[in-house]
Structure 1
């Protein structure tokens, strides 16, 4: 998430301005697992939706089926599309103030979702095209496709992950992209990822069946294997690259998507590469040092195939146990390696798409595990695809507007807790995080299997109405449990801090804003220039052997 570095390059002069412009908050980390790489054959897509600040609430919403066409209008630009009818119903996880239906605006700003057909999407991973690519084919900021719109226009229309990637690509080719982005798609059989190359060009790939994929605010695709099964590209991509001087066919080298279209500089070496490398090290057995240009795009998991819980752990990573943990050592902005979990993460999700079977009926086939705020200090709560739209738990579906804490939503109850934990991370973070994970394990190992067995029995012997009643009861129970867990941990944190009680909401908002500003990790072009001058600070020097991920801490601890 986050507004991409805006470019409207129409000439070499504008391209120069692009190079000099400030680069606002790059955000999000994405994780995709193909079915052959997961422990149970499911497809997993996950993303932390990182915004700006920590007080824009996230929630769960339901969009009913639509019989006729509908006009969609984006909030953040003048994009307007007529969506064809009929439209599929879908559940979504909007993030931020744009999703407030009471505002009278479109309820866009959706960050993730799943539709009735079992297609899941997460949008977007902010990436950055090179100045040269954008000078040749500028972004359409005024009416182009942007993250504010993507789940809202794709989910009502598609019945497979591939179709989702194809449709989004067609829309980018037709309307242009308003910003550079990557988008995750999943169904029970396949996982796809799409990256934009410029204003109107793009590439999408299906993950090889036995691999996983990480993206962290930078393009990840390499060789363009147009025509290969599982690869989609925009019309005329090769011609555009050649005619724009982004690739020389006479060189004998294949068209490399990353080299031709993506930005790659010191900010990326510190802000993006370390996150990719640490997860490839932890889950793919890559060396604990990273020569960033050689990082593989797709990787087989080792030593074992991946579970949703392993992916949740990845989305909570903040260099814990290493010398680069900024929360433990309280050293921002000196720490240049951005952690995966941020206080300004508005929502994290791990979506699991399972093939249907006698034991996994359609309503249970997709689970969106949603953490309503930063996942490190917020529980992942299971939300099933078949949950009726008129029975959403209030803990998930309601949240008062930005800056107005409520006592019901998981978002604000988690933010209260986080405001206190960040006052003494060393004392509070570990026991808090352990309690949250213990609750998740209880739900996933004990409560959820029992519920699913009861659901299947009810569906087979009593019918869909009885089974749906059990689904609603389970969903409301786990949401209530999550809220009670957060409330108890908040009271405990206040006690451990020596406070007479939980501070007022006004005071908690103040503490939250202060911590979010301190640990923002929002790089700027000035940071990029400074890193270019100070080669010692960067993750790697181009062509160097790389830097160890788990280096011993230097004099900062002495």
Structure 2
């Protein structure tokens, strides 16, 4: 993610998994939305709406006044907007009523040669608008790529981004390059990909329209501007991307860490520019493993910032989960289920390593009250701040208190996993007319479980911390 003019160096980490690479046949896309250590999010479900006339989208970003006409029918969809629309909506991630998921964006960088040939468009589309003008108007992942691609070609963009799409059958990763150009690759059904703030897509086969989509005249663009001598394809990462020292410490190690976790037999250099985009795991991947990756910080290596490595090693690489994460999500579309039951929007508010992924059925009517509250400063009624408070309290005495957090996370993982199993079973016995109400109540129950236990955790952490003051002294109680 790259948000707001006051925060030019934000960044995210993403994962995409094909249906034959997962344990239950789901497709999964997920991302950490990283911006600021205190920048609250909420979760909403926009209802299906039909208008008499086309609607107009106008960005609140004064530096990038993007505007466009929208269709008259807007599908129902989940989203995680920010506490204020002042700098833009930044809805970021969601699942719509047609079973299509979208996460936007993974911020990346385009090199100067390409930008000289096609500069950014200051009133073009950016991250803050992409979910809002795309997700409610698409019926498949492929259609999502095509719709957003058409917007970029005609209206331009003011930044370089990666965008994730999925449905029950396909997973797509799309990348923009320069002002008007983009490519997208279908993740093979038996593969996964992890991405970390670099252009990631490699060889593009311009003749393979089943697995690659791209701006209509991209071949002419790269040839006419002497960017590459292309016949039927080219390496998008090499032509459009960057390779510099910051990449080696900020970006590539996170890709290395993901491939180390899912494919541990690989022996790779964390600073290599040659890490492959598409990779195969040594096992079928469960949803909690996708969540584990997004919550990781080089555990088991010298690079863990809260590990036992040297001070230099602990601060050598930017971790996947860090204090600036606003929320983390895994969007799971499950097979062989009715569309309003198949999508689960797993959401961890705040720092993924210090939070818990709560399952929200996208087919519900609305979100729990605590998730609809988001404020600039701490609010004990807001889900974002309830999870953030526990993390802040743990951070104050990390090694002494982290075990308490882990116990709660483990217990909730069990309870919430069981909750999904029992809800699915109940849904099979529920009429279509009553299903939305069932799922809404299920989401309320899941949120209540997580929030109640994190509030109890915070009370325990505060009580325990009272005797950890630097002003403490071992006083003889007999005096």
TM-score (norm 1): 0.79
One of 170, 179, 183 as aligned partner of 1:190: 170
One of 296, 321, 326 as aligned partner of 1:317: 296
2:183 paired with 1:203: yes
Equivalent residue, structure 2, for 1:136: 117
User: Is the Cα–Cα contact under 8 Å of residues 302 and 313 in structure 2 kept in the other structure?
Assistant: no
Equivalent residue, structure 2, for 1:61: 44
One of 363, 368, 386 as aligned partner of 2:345: 368
Structure 2: segments with no counterpart, 5+ residues? 470-479
2:27 paired with 1:50: no
One of 217, 235, 244 as aligned partner of 1:265: 244
The Cα shift of 1:85 comes to 1.4
Equivalent positions of 1:67-146 (< 5 A) are 67-68=50-51, 69-76=54-61, 77-98=64-85, 108-141=89-122, 143-146=123-126
Equivalent residue, structure 2, for 1:284: 263
2:390 paired with 1:417: yes
Report Cα offsets for 1:61-118 as digits up to 9, x if no partner: 12222212211112222001110111212111123532xxxx7x97x21110111111
One of 421, 446, 458 as aligned partner of 1:490: 458
CA distance in 2, matches of 1:62, 1:23: 28
CA distance in 2, matches of 1:3, 1:473: 33
User: Is the Cα–Cα contact under 8 Å of residues 353 and 367 in structure 1 kept in the other structure?
Assistant: yes
The alignment yields a C-alpha RMSD, in angstroms, of 2.3
Q: 1:152 to 1:425 in 2, by over 3 A?
A: same
CA distance in 1, matches of 2:27, 2:232: 34
Equivalent positions of 1:345-494 (< 5 A) are 345-355=325-335, 357=336, 360-389=337-366, 392-399=367-374, 401-403=375-377, 405-444=378-417, 446-459=418-431, 464-465=433-434, 467-494=435-462
CA distance in 2, matches of 1:248, 1:449: 54
CA distance in 1, matches of 2:40, 2:3: 17
CA distance in 1, matches of 2:280, 2:314: 34
Q: 1:430 to 1:137 in 2, by over 3 A?
A: farther
Q: 1:387 to 1:254 in 2, by over 3 A?
A: closer
User: Is the Cα–Cα contact under 8 Å of residues 307 and 314 in structure 2 kept in the other structure?
Assistant: no
Q: Per the alignment, in what secondary structure is the counterpart of residue 205 of structure 2?
A: coil
Report Cα offsets for 1:175-221 as digits up to 9, x if no partner: 11111000000101100010012111110111111000111000011
Equivalent residue pairs, number: 462
One of 121, 145, 153 as aligned partner of 1:165: 145
The Cα shift of 1:333 comes to 10
Q: Per the alignment, in what secondary structure is the counterpart of residue 347 of structure 2?
A: strand
CA distance in 1, matches of 2:452, 2:385: 13
Q: Per the alignment, in what secondary structure is the counterpart of residue 110 of structure 1?
A: coil
CA distance in 1, matches of 2:313, 2:257: 20
CA distance in 1, matches of 2:439, 2:385: 25
Per mean C-alpha deviation after superposition, the further-off stretch among 128-137 and 331-340 is 331-340
Structure 1: segments with no counterpart, 5+ residues? 7-21, 502-558
User: Is the Cα–Cα contact under 8 Å of residues 112 and 122 in structure 1 kept in the other structure?
Assistant: yes
TM-score (norm 2): 0.91
User: Is the Cα–Cα contact under 8 Å of residues 95 and 111 in structure 1 kept in the other structure?
Assistant: no
One of 125, 132, 148 as aligned partner of 1:152: 132
